[in-house]
Amino acid sequence: MAGLIVYILFGLIPIYQAFQVKRNPMKIRNLRKMKALQPDVELDPRLQQLYFVNYLITGILWMLTGLIGWLYGMKLTYVMFALAIIGGITVFVAKWRIMGETPKWHLVMLALAVVLVIVYHIWLVKDSKVEVLPETFAVEGDYGIEMPYQAIDSVFVMETMPEVKYTKDGYSVFGNKKGEFRLKDGSDAKFYLLGKQPPYLKMYTHGGLVFVNRKTTAETEQLIVELRDKIGNKIIYRL
């Protein structure tokens, strides 16, 4: 419930800003903290309407995001950031059309943002490793885990993966899937898939169901050998 309240409060802020702009466009100076935009908003009703609609829709979407996350037990903070970015880009594009101008520095910033997102995801993938350590099984990188071998009940070697309903807290990009996901059958599982090629390890652990592999088939086969040395016949059979 506390998380839902936080999402609602975050949503109420831009809604409040929307009606502040509607009532008094002069306050755009304080709301945007960009003095260069103030004269345009004061003089052009179309820009006033643009900022009003942007704030209002952003606030409503943030509250809906919080409600959906609370109902389904999902962590959707990244969705809020995505909505804010999309809203900002929409405002820039709409302002260009209204004012009949296309500031080049905005285009450069947009292109840079796209490049940074791509580089960030490449870095996430590169930084992730599945390690069989002397005392623990570990997944390094974001959403990583580390567990003693005693916490592993059994491991099945799979050629296919179960269908996923949605992401609870994680990401799925470039064939990689990391974090917590809700499966089609309604159960939850943690995924640490670093490659698109089978085999996959389906691990029953004290902390719940875990799916894992390495970046290539050969590396995953090596993982099976390394893990068998630690847990023996807990690796049962290939499905």
Among 36-50, 61-75, 149-163, 191-205, which is the least confidently predicted range? Answer: 36-50
C-alpha–C-alpha distance, residues 196 and 174, integer Å? 9
Q: Give which of 83, 76, 80, 66 is closest to 169, Cα–Cα.
A: 76
Q: Residue 208's beta-bridge partner residues?
A: 205
Higher pLDDT, 191 or 171: 191
Among 59-73, 168-182, 213-227, which is the least confidently predicted range? Answer: 59-73
Distance of CA 101 to the CA centre of its chain: 33
Looking up tokens 């995505």 gives 82
- In three-state form (DSSP H/G/I as H, E/B as E, the rest C), the secondary structure along 65-115 is HHHHHHHHCCCCHHHHHHHHHHHHHHHHHHHHHHHCCCCHHHHHHHHHHHH
pLDDT computed for residue 150 by the predictor: 92
pLDDT computed for residue 28 by the predictor: 55
